């Protein structure tokens, strides 16, 4: 996956896990894509819950970033994240997490997330509170 609005290999976590961020959609909602491999599974052969939370966190944080920067690179911190696990995901499944801002203002944002499988099956949901990182004058970010 490449092209405008696609962020790959930007952070150590992103390189380690192998997810791709799509911040180029016109709806202002970021998407986090991951195809599950054996490296992502737990001892039961299912996608590890920590990776589920990580994918949702990234889609939600990048959605917050899009509210400040159309390139999706304005830094946000996660204050809280609550994840609800609804169905397992297995090796080979292509997943997409998407964020949606539900409230907040200048200092914090409330964001929801959904993680779905390739068959549009709902795997997990999350709610979170995110805070923009204060930028120093002259850093050139929006």
DSSP assignments along 15-67, one per residue:
HHH--EEE---TTS--EEEEE--GGGB-TTSBB-HHHHHHHHHHHHHHHHHHT
Global pTM value: 0.92
Domain assignment present for 109 = yes
Domain span at 53:
6-132
Tokens of 60: 């939600």
Domain assignment present for 139 = no
**Number of domains the chain is built from:** 1
Contacts of 56 (CB under 8 A, 6+ apart): 32, 81, 83, 97, 99, 113, 115, 124, 125, 126, 128
Question: With bands split at pLDDT 50, 70 and 90, how would you rate the model's confidence at 136?
Answer: confident
Mean pLDDT of 64-90: 96
Domain assignment present for 32 = yes
- CATH classification at residue 102: 3.10.129.10
Q: What pLDDT sits at residue 118?
A: 83
Q: What pLDDT sits at residue 141?
A: 46
Domain assignment present for 137 = no
């Amino acid at each position: 996956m490449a092209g405008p609005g696609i962020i790959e290999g930007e952070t150590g976590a992103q390189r380690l896990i192998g997810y791709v961020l799509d911040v180029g959609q016109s709806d202002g909602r970021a998407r986090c894509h991951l195809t599950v491999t054996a490296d992502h599974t737990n001892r039961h052969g299912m996608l590890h819950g920590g990776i589920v939370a990580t994918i949702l966190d990234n889609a939600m944080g990048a959605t917050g970033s899009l509210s400040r920067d159309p390139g999706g690179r304005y830094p946000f911190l996660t204050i809280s994240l609550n994840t609800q696990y609804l169905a397992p995901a297995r090796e080979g499944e292509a997943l997409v997490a998407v964020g949606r801002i539900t409230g907040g203002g200048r200092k914090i944002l409330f964001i929801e997330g959904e993680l779905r499988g390739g068959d549009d099956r709902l795997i997990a949901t999350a709610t979170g509170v995110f805070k923009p990182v204060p930028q120093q004058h002259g850093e050139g970010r929006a």
